[in-house]
Amino acid sequence: MRLRLLVPALTLLASALAAQGAAPSATARRLAERNAGRYDDTFKRYSKRYFGANFDWRYFKAQGMAESGLDPTARSWVGARGVMQLMPSTFQLIQTRRPEFQSIDDPEWNIAAGIMHDRYLWKLWTSSITEPERPAFMFGSYNAGEGTIARARSAARAQSGDSVSWSHIELVAPTVPRWRYRETLGYVRKIEGNYSTLRRPR
């Protein structure tokens, strides 16, 4: 008797769990569709301003997706804010050069400041890292700080010589002190994945 009652109950429970499992994927799909063109004009505008017309703006949208899921209200546990998850101190430093960047919580100024900071990091690596490798160094520096990536590069050079690629950084990462390297390597990979997705025809 108990077994006959238990079987329908388990069937109902399985159906309920399946329905719960389907809901998040449908929600995620709707969210992805809604975000498909979100802030494209802003990313295009400031990519062109700070990197030139030939640089692919989708790199920075991929970064915004990795940072916050393009959420302008996002805040991290360390206090980073907005689409590009800028620290208030970084934003204030950028504001000294660009006073028109009015608020860190305004998506346009947050994105603009994030791309401007990327430009600083890009130029930092211009003389020592070839262009195909430079986006990874730029994004790695955005996440971990340029000093950390410089230390990683020094460790990689000690092993591989003058020519250092991001794959060399990945190899030596566990040996670099004071670096949450798994976070940074995962961050760079996530941007690369987002970028590949954004390049696919819609």
> Phi/psi at 61 (nearest 5 deg)?
-65, -40
* 45 shares a domain with 13: no
Structure letter (DSSP) for residue 165? -
Specify the CATH number for the domain of residue 180.
1.10.530.10
> Phi/psi at 75 (nearest 5 deg)?
-135, 135
Domain count, the chain: 2
- Tell me how far apart the alpha carbons of residues 68 and 1 are, in angstroms, rounded to a whole number: 53
Q: Flag whether the pTM goes above 0.85.
A: no
Residue 180 C-beta-side C-alpha neighbours within 13 Å: 7
* 106 shares a domain with 57: yes
* ∠ CA 32-37-39, rounded to 5°: 110
* 179 shares a domain with 79: yes
Check whether 198 has a pLDDT greater than 50: yes
* 5 shares a domain with 81: no
* 110 shares a domain with 11: no
* 81 shares a domain with 176: yes
Structure letter (DSSP) for residue 75? B
* Angle, helix 40-51 to helix 58-68, in steps of 10 degrees: 120
Range of the domain at 111: 41-199
pLDDT in tens, 30-44: 655 666 788 999 999
pLDDT in tens, 149-195: 999 999 999 988 778 999 999 999 999 999 999 999 999 999 999 99
* 189 shares a domain with 94: yes
